[in-house]
Structure 1
Amino acid sequence: MPDTQIPILSDIVRTPSAREAALRKSKKWWFMVCVNIIFLLAGQTAAMLLGRFYFDKGGQSMWISTFVQTAAFPVLLLAFIAIPSSTTTSSTDVVPHASIASLAFVYISIGLIIVADNLMYSYGLLYLPISTYSLVCATQLAFNSIFSYFINKQKFTILIFNSVVVLTFSAALLGVDPDSNTSSVIPSGKRPLGFILTIGASAVYSLILSLIQLSFEKVIMKIEYSAVIEMQFYTSAIATIASVIGLFGSGEWKSLPGEMRGFESGKFSYVMTLVGTAVSWQVASVGVIGLIFEVSSLFSNVISTLALPIVPVFAVIFFHDGFNGIKVIALLLAVWGFVSYIYQNHLDVKKLKKASASARDENGVEVLTEMGGNSGGDHMIK
């Protein structure tokens, strides 16, 4: 990503006016990061709970569950209006424009991977209690650490390695827990398959995040937030089209009228559940891509993992999922892995700030030396 996207760390300001400009820029950056975090946390939590509600009340269509994860992309047209893409750039911000063919390849390939990933997540959500499902999803951070290292050249330290091991062990502990309380609507004997599919979906999801970051860096190369909206809109459109093809190709569309009539909470509740799920996933996805754009794919996944402990709490309240000792231990391990990564980020930020301060000190020495050796002349601070 361009260095200008994290001005508080990358800019070395040398004049009062430059410091004020950098401060305003950093405030805007932090504001966008916070907004995207809220989008991700709220959207992901609501979407997972509504997805579980859909299955618990009689929903059975895997392709509908996959479809709603991207189907609300038309609402992003409002964002296109609110956040128009700039048509002018300054001489210092000129970046090459990606070709239509390159953009089409990026959007289509990522969109198709997304629909496959969403389908696996749908099966996982059907075959696992939501508390187990959400905690197994914590492995996505471990996978993302690996993909970020190889694809995005992310620094891989001892603390990150610790996070990978601990989070993976946390998910494995859940997978072998024989005492997990399962809902009566979960098909018997499907728990191992649900566990495997959720693990696989987490790995693919992590790959998607790294590929999106790589696309921003190597193909799109725009420093405007409109790039986030475009990425989400076009990839969701491709994924939605693929989901519709899957829905009709599998023949599941024939069972939808009966599924609506048999939905325990009624037809209106059925429709609103699907609409709410679709909008929630779209909000969460904008937050995910926004954090990739503003920071990195790994940071985006960290925030996504942060939302996971929230979901089981609501699942216990609304769906009466069990939360036994093993799940408590697994949750604590997940928190441990998360904290390990956050602490590594703290060390990285501290190191960057120290380097910036050192550079400013060196610049100040240069200015004083120049002023001392040229008495009586006009001096410009560089």
Structure 2
Amino acid sequence: MGETQEVQLHVSEAEQAAFPKDPSQNDSPSSSSILKAWRWWLIVSLYTAFILGGQTAATLLGRLYYEAGGKSLWMATVVQSAGAPLLIPLLFRFPSSHSSSHSPRRSTAKFAAVCTGIGLLIAGDNLMYSYGLLYLPVSTYSLLCATQLGFSAAFSFFLNSQKFTPLILNSVALLTLSAALLGVRSDTGGAANGDKQALGFVLTLAASAAFALILSLLQLTFQKLLKTETFSVVLEIIIFTNVVATAAAAAGLFAGGDWRGISAEFAGYEKGRVSYVMTLVWIAICWTVYSVGAVGLIFMASSLFANVIATTALPLVPVFAVVFFHERIDGVKVVALLIATVGFVNYGYQHYLDDLKQRKKTPRTADDL
């Protein structure tokens, strides 16, 4: 997508069964191309819905965990990746990619090393997001997360051969300005609160940078290590990286001593014990849905496209925060939101121009889909 190397897709027999061919269609190249184009857009739309719904719900539930009495940063980190094993049954639905005659043999050792490295990055990223969500209002937190587009531009330039353009530079400048507006103000008084908000501000920016790096590394993994693969590798990467992230977070939970307070946290949760368990379970499920959408869009398009879609959900969170948590949206936040939205539009429009240019240069055929 854009200037990046496109990932070649080969549809497995299971995927063909999931999208059966219409017997009324001819075998002509044009009808086959149209059918596959519709299928491509259907899958991309599904992944997009996963990202928008999963991220919005998971962020709000994460804030609810803190609001109702949850205190463990490590528990909040664990549940962000703990839902990955729920995807294991899908591996039986889609056959393993390296059993396909179209797929080159891959190094198991390299694949394991890559998944371990990315999984540890995910664990650290999730921990920083947990700090940000604890110390900042949801609206401020979400607006700061929009800076991940700017970081994505930088990492994509160095890792994925994405070129800088005036629109991208303008987008980065606007997102930086939006973050700066939030950084020079304080939502609550007091030195202690100010220190916590400063820490949350810095860690949320760092988490946004780490998230952009993770997406670019995933795209690089598809391009350089996996090359020609099927959808099963998407599931494998999600499961393996998140299992590593969960193990690392669980180690932090026990090493840091947070596990000693879990029983008291469970008993004293304001909304009840059942609500405590269900909140954590649904956070895990929602972040897993989000992960499927994000990695799926990287597989189908690019890390930039996945990041643009992920940022689309961010303006939705402050709106729901006002409804559910009665947060106050003042003038500074409104201006920051408008600036971030303009920056996002600039970025999205550049992506559209890149895609249009690529289509004119190399028209997409049925084999490309």
Q: Does 1:48 align with 2:59?
A: yes
Q: Tell me what 1:341 maps to.
A: 347
TM-aligned CA deviation for residue 353 of structure 1: 3.2
1:243 shift after superposition: 1.0
Query: Does the 8 Å contact 1:159/1:340 carry over to 2?
Result: yes
1:254 aligns with 2:260: yes
Structure 1 residues 235 and 86: alpha-carbon distance in aligned structure 2, compared to 1, 3 A threshold? closer
| 1:365 match | none
Question: Aligned runs of 1:129-144 on 2, under 5 Å?
Answer: 129-144=137-152
Tell me the equivalent position of 1:245.
251
Larger Rg: 1
- SS of structure 1 residue aligned to 2:35: helix
Q: How does 1:133-172 map to 2 (within 5 A)?
A: 133-172=141-180
Q: Which residue of 80, 102, 114 maps to 1:69?
A: 80
Give ranges in structure 2 of 5+ residues lacking alignment. 11-25
Partner of 2:212: 206
- For CA contacts below 8 A with separation 6 or more, give which structure has more relative contact order: 2
Residue of structure 1 aligned with 2:231, choices 225, 230, 238: 225
1:159 offset after TM fit, Å?
A: 0.6
Q: CA deviation at 1:323?
A: 0.6
Q: CA deviation at 1:354?
A: 3.0
Q: Give distance in 2, aligned partners of 1:156 and 1:313.
A: 32
Q: CA deviation at 1:5?
A: 4.9
The residue number in structure 1 matching 2:29 is: 18
Partner of 2:13: none
- Whether the 8 Å CA contact 2:7–2:300 is kept in 1: the answer is no
Tell me if structure 1 keeps the 8 A contact 2:97–2:229.
Answer: no
Residue 320 of structure 2: aligned partner: 314
What is the rounded CA distance, in whole Å, between the counterparts of 2:97 and 2:32 in structure 1?
20
Shift in alpha-carbon separation, 1:25–1:309, aligned structure 2, 3 A? same
- After superposition, the Cα gap between the structure-2 partners of 1:86 and 1:216, relative to the gap in structure 1 and judged at 3 Å, is closer
Percent of aligned pairs sharing the same letter: 50
Q: Does the residue aligned with 1:145 lie in a helix, a strand or coil?
A: helix
Task: Give 1:211 shift.
Answer: 0.5
- Contact 2:97/2:103, CA 8 A, preserved across alignment: no
User: Which residue number corresponds to residue 20 of structure 2?
Assistant: none
1:156 positional shift: 1.6
Separation (CA, whole Å) in 1 of partners of 2:328 and 2:139: 8
Aligned CA distance change for structure 1 residues 3 and 248 (closer, same or farther; 3 Å): closer
- Contact 1:181-1:322 at 8 Å conserved across structures: no
> 89, 94, 104: which is aligned to 1:96?
104
Which AA in structure 1 matches 2:338?
L
Q: Distance in 2 between matches of 1:89 and 1:246?
A: 39
2:116 paired with 1:108: yes
Separation in structure 1 between the aligned mates of residue 8 and residue 74 of structure 2, nearest angstrom: 41
- Structure 2 contact 138–321 (Cα < 8 Å) conserved: yes
Q: Offset at 1:188?
A: 5.7
Report the Cα distance in structure 2 between the residues aligned to 1:207 and 1:87, rounded to whole angstroms: 27
Shift of 1:289: 0.6
Residue in structure 2 matched with residue 57 of structure 1 by the alignment = 68
Q: CA RMSD in A?
A: 2.2
What amino acid sits opposite 1:85 in the alignment? S
How far apart are residue 21 of structure 1 and its match? 1.8
Match of 1:27 among 31, 38, 41: 38
How many equivalent residue pairs? 345
Q: Per-residue deviation at 1:31?
A: 1.2
Greater CA drift, 29-38 or 308-317: 29-38
How many angstroms does 1:356 deviate by? 4.4
Instruction: Confirm or deny: 8 A CA contact 2:147 2:175 kept in the other structure.
Output: yes
Give the whole-Å Cα distance in 1 for the aligned partners of 2:219 and 2:179: 26
Q: Which moved more, 1:281-290 or 1:21-30?
A: 21-30
Provide Cα deviations, 1:47-89, integer angstroms capped at 9, x if missing partner: 0000000001111101100000000111101221333335654
Shift in Å, 1:350: 2.6
CA contact (8 A) 2:97 2:231 kept: no
| Aligned mate of 1:80, from 91, 109, 114 | 91
| Cα drift, residue 23 of structure 1 | 1.6
2:93 is matched by which residue type in structure 1?
Answer: A
TM-score of the two chains, using structure 2 as the length reference: 0.89
**Offset from partner CA, 1:308-363 (integer Å, 9 cap, x none):** 00000000000011111111111111111111112112222332333347x99xxx
C-alpha distance in 2, partners of 1:137/1:205?
A: 10
**Deviation digits for residues 174-218 of structure 1 (CA, Å, limit 9, x no counterpart):** 12123x369x9x956311110000000100111011001001111
CA deviation after TM superposition for structure 1 residue 231, in Å: 0.6
Task: Kindly provide the amino acid, as one letter, of the partner of residue 50 in structure 2.
Answer: F
